Structure 1
Amino acid sequence: MTGQPAPSPAPPAPEPAGGGAQAVARALSLLSLVGRGGSAGSGLAQLAAATGLARPTARRLLLALTEARMVEQDRHTRRYHLGPEAYLLASFAAERHGILHHARDSMLRLARDTGDTVLLTVPQGDHTLCLERIEGDFPVRTHALMRGDRKPAGVGAGALAILAALPVAEADALLQRTAPLTEAMAPGLAPALIEDLARARASGHALNPGRVVPGSWGLGVAILWPDGRPAGALSIAAIDSRMGEARQAELTAMLHHEARLTETRLAALETQPERNIA
């Protein structure tokens, strides 16, 4: 309850089979889940269940992460959040690995020039994650995808653009694996995505004609690493009345331009000389 002192941590459990390496893997799994808890944080029971750990083991590992300042526990809600050291390390990694760091200027330009909502989506296993959302000044907006939302592969214009950039066999297998999830979201969505994917491959951009939320349309273009793999996608979301064919062509050209600029910045990372940090 709010205001009550934190429960005393359980005595250290015996070292699990596998030794220190397994303990590190479990701690990192907990750290990843805490990070995905967003601003609401994550409770101990939730984290233990998600990792399959006993609660005393999860608590012990979280205590170690807290002492390293990678995690912190809100003293009122008792929920766990990423700590200041995690933030600091992420800021160090942003220039090399943070696609948001390299795409933000493009997102701001697109939002300013179109007036619509601009989204950055990144692949995450069989899902995609909305990493950022920047809104333009048009007063009527769509809220089908928010920052931090995680969707099955192919659901949404950015996710579909990422799927279309994958090798055909890989993308088709991914879409087949996630079909039960997409059908649970909306009956008929899984077969519709197969058709949308074929069109995206042919056109070089993805169109979501209100598949998930009626009236909420989106256009997406993949951002590629130098080896051709998708790093993410830029997309524009708007109400259907702002997505006529003529404007679709205009918006798609803008998305391609900004995606190529972001790709150039990502490619430069792989050509930089090694720095002497000794």
Structure 2
Amino acid sequence: MTETPAPAPAEPALAEPASGGAQAVARALSLLSLVGRGGGEGLALGQLAAASGLTRPTVRRLLLALAAARMVEQDRRTRRYHLGPEAYLLGTFAAERHGILHHARESMLRLARETGDALLLTVPQGDHTLCLERIEGDFPIRTHALMRGDRKPAGVGAGALAILAALPAPEADALLRQTAPQAEALAPGLAPALAEDLAHARAAGHALNPGRVVPGSWGLGVAILWPDGRPAGALSIAAIENRMGEARRAELAVLLHREAQLVATRLAALETQPKRNIA
């Protein structure tokens, strides 16, 4: 089951730089970021205005400038905005140096072959997490609780929970409190259950989602760490409940730890440590 896209990504109102030129650049870049987070559905002008805190005429003017630079484009049928070809090109240039997906894809493919289950790559995005990629294994019965591009509140899902468990406890606990209303909206009683799951994940070294949101859809996740110990993201395996027995979970955790360490080693080998929360 794929999560229904929110009307617009939740972002803080744009800051007001002192310089007029710097202000315009900051606003345009923030709009570009919002468009990128709109996913495959894209975002309408009104959604971008509401999410950015800017007026519709200002948003339209900035979008026209971004479109002229081919950084965004508007779908002629839906009138919604999407990232443009120049944004894609720049993303490919940055991927080898900074993209965690570039460094994790080989591990995901290997795990999908070895386990037959679905492999997910999740990254932190403030008080939410984003599923960057999903690679299917060959087992015919699949769970679709989390798909590429889905955003979830912190701790919801095995990968998100593994990221939370890798954070300092006060920071992780604060994120859980902050997103508790959103978690409860997904499933009644989910917020206190996540607090228990977080404690177990810290003790075990890997996170388990025992079908908290979608019954029968289980997940196992391990964090990928930067050299300083902060979570860059997480690898997780999603499968139906009867493929997640205790003995097999132990085997899968070993495989996930192996590949998460390989990805962490690739990230550490970069000449300059990349910024966190990158996609």
Partner residue in 1 for 2:135: 134
Matched residue type, 1:71: V
Q: Distance in 2 between matches of 1:236 and 1:228?
A: 22
Q: After superposition, what is the alpha-carbon deviation per residue over 1:84-109, rounded to whole angstroms, capped at 9, x for unaligned?
A: 11111111111121000000000001
| Higher relative contact order (Cα pairs below 8 Å, separated by 6+ residues) | 2
Q: Distance in 2 between matches of 1:123 and 1:74?
A: 29
Write out the 4+ residue segments of structure 1 that deviate beyond 6 Å after TM superposition: none
How far did 1:17 drift?
A: 7.6
How far did 1:117 drift?
A: 0.6
Q: Distance in 1 between matches of 2:117 and 2:77?
A: 38
Q: Distance in 2 between matches of 1:96 and 1:236?
A: 26
Aligned residues: 257
Alignment pair present for 1:194 and 2:195:
yes
Deviation larger for 213-222 or 263-272: 263-272
Q: Report which of the two structures shows the higher radius of gyration computed on alpha carbons.
A: 1
Partner residue in 2 for 1:223: 224
TM-score by length of 1: 0.89
Matched residue type, 1:60: R
Partner residue in 1 for 2:108: 107
Partner residue in 1 for 2:177: 176
Q: Secondary structure at the match of 2:213?
A: coil
The percentage of aligned residue pairs carrying the same residue is: 85
Query: Counterparts of 1:25-44 in structure 2 under 5 Å?
Result: 25-44=26-45
How far did 1:270 drift?
A: 3.6
- For structure 1, the 5+ residue unaligned runs are 1-15, 273-278
Partner residue in 2 for 1:125: 126
Q: Distance in 1 between matches of 2:193 and 2:217?
A: 16
Q: Distance in 1 between matches of 2:109 and 2:193?
A: 31
Q: Secondary structure at the match of 1:214?
A: coil
Partner residue in 2 for 1:12: none
Q: Secondary structure at the match of 1:65?
A: helix
Partner residue in 1 for 2:48: 47
Matched residue type, 1:165: A
Q: After superposition, what is the alpha-carbon deviation per residue over 1:5-37, rounded to whole angstroms, capped at 9, x for unaligned?
A: xxxxxxxxxxx9851222112111211111112
RMSD: 1.4
- For structure 2, the 5+ residue unaligned runs are 1-16, 274-279
